[in-house]
Amino acid sequence: MPGVASKKSLAIIGAGWAGFPVTQGVDLSLYSVTVISPVRTIQYTPLLASAACGLFDFRLAEEPIRRQKRTDVKYYKAMAESIDFDKRTISCRHAVEDLGRSRETFQVKYDRLVLAMGCDIQTFNTPGAFEHALFLRTTNDARIRELLHIRVVGGGAIGIEATAELHDLWEESMQYLYPHLQGKLQITIHDVADQVLTTFDESLSQYAMKSMMKKGVELKTSSHIEKVEADAIYTKEDGKLPYGMLLWATGNKANSLMDKLDVKTPEKGMPRILTNHQLQVLRPDGQIMEDVFAAGDAADIDGDSLPMLAEAALQKGEYLTKELNKGDSGFQTRFNYEQKANLAYLGQKDGVVGGKSEWTGAGAWLAWRSGSVAWTRSWRRKAWILYSWIWVWFNGRDIARK
């Protein structure tokens, strides 16, 4: 077994679906691992809407990077601002505001580098969106308040599932706690496309729209938001529309670090780091960048584009872990993406499943529930989530009167 002196330094930027598996599975006898991320946990995004609506504790929707059996992993709560690939140095800035260190910068050296920083939130430069909207990207974003008119911007899986969980919360619990408000809650979904769940087959998208409307959810498709204020949004089609709470669940935009990376990017579309099929980063001229790898939403395979889904990021992270653990003999095999089922929850034990096979209804809901448990990376959290669901089944959701 290699000694400490022979270890290579492995830096991992980001701890999402692609980076987290590497932080947990890479062989610590081969690598001295440094993780750079502004968030100290992986955020289980498919579970955030459920946590926000009282199905289980917020802590079950995230998992820490540093574990008791992997204390040798060094973690910096920081943002990577630039990378010198020739000198193998990362310039970082502290992200610990409460310690007054947010302006401090420092350098991290590496022998091997994994770029898995993900993407930033896409607001389409809508004025006021960052100041007034809530974003279901982290567990802090999921701690939402009960208000009567909720507008959800984004008709993708996250927006639909957030709407479904909010509707279930009201139907199963809140309307009985506040009986004088029955019939007054309104949820509206806004999307720039002409239908929701555009990543699914059109028949499943139409099913989802009908299911939402049966529940009293208003769908405003082909809706172009021009401005956001503290209590209203302004759309091109309808002008000023008031809200009590605004959830922003649109797509991604390029991570800000992309502007400073001298790497190959697609000629069209969103800038992403292009790699070969071994996930090795390519220089602008197409040559391989030695010992630098990329995965997650910030990266794509040159000539073989993959969807920006958690499943794709997770599979890339698991591939990187396996190959890194082979040492110098790794990365001789290609990464092959395995398409899995695409699931979405519609509320009231209804859902849709797309992919190799398609179905709807209660069976799809059960598949979504079991799939959500499968996302977690530890058996302890799987057990606690199952326990929480059983508890809610018999005793109702975890809510509190204010």
Which residues lie below 8 Å from residue 165, measured CB to CB, with a gap of 6+? 49, 50, 52, 53, 55, 345, 347
Tokens encoding 295: 């995965």
pLDDT of residue 199: 87
Output the CA torsion sign for 353, 357, 360, 364. negative
- pTM, full prediction: 0.81
**What number of residues does the chain have?**
402
Contact partners, residue 365, CB within 8 Å, separation at least 6? 345, 346, 349, 350, 351
**Phi, then psi, of 361 in degrees rounded to 5:** 90, -155
Helix pair angle (362-375, 45-52), 10° resolution: 110
d(CA 311, CA 100): 37
The pLDDT value recorded for residue 102 is: 53
3-state secondary structure labels for all residues of the chain: CCCHHHCEEEEEECCCCCHHHHHHHCCCCCEEEEEEECCCEEECHHHHHHHHCCCCCHHHHEEECCCHHHCCCEEEEEEEEEEECCCCEEEEEECCHHHCCCCCEEEEECCEEEECCCCEECCCCCCCHHHHCEECCCCCCCCCCCCCEEEEECCCHHHHHHHHHHHHHHHHHHHHHCHHHCCCCEEEEEECCCCCCCCCCHHHHHHHHHHHHHCCCEEEECCCEEEECCCEEEECCCEEEECCEEEECCCEECCHHHHHCCCCCCCCCCCCEEECCCCEEECCCCCEEEEEEECCCCEEECCCCCCCCHHHHHHHHHHHHHHHCCHHHCCCCCCCCCCCCEEEECCCCCEEEECCCCEECHHHHHHHHHHHHHHCCCHHHHHHHHHHHHHHHHHCCCCCCC
Distance separating alpha carbons of residues 265 and 19, to the nearest angstrom: 20
- Which amino acid belongs to residue 118? G
Cα–Cα distance for residue pair 51/185, rounded to 1 Å: 20
- Reading the chain (402 residues) residue by residue, the pLDDT tens digits are 444 458 999 999 999 999 999 999 999 999 999 999 998 888 877 777 777 777 777 777 788 888 767 888 999 999 999 999 999 999 999 987 655 555 678 999 999 999 999 888 888 888 988 888 867 666 566 545 335 789 999 999 989 999 999 999 888 888 888 887 788 889 999 999 999 999 899 999 999 999 999 999 999 999 999 999 998 999 999 999 999 899 999 988 899 999 999 999 999 989 999 999 999 999 999 999 999 999 999 999 999 999 888 889 999 999 999 999 999 999 999 999 998 888 999 999 999 998 878 899 999 988 888 877 787 878 888 888 888 888 877 877 766 544
Q: At what angle do helices 157-169 and 45-52 cross, to 10 degrees?
A: 20
pLDDT, position 30 = 96
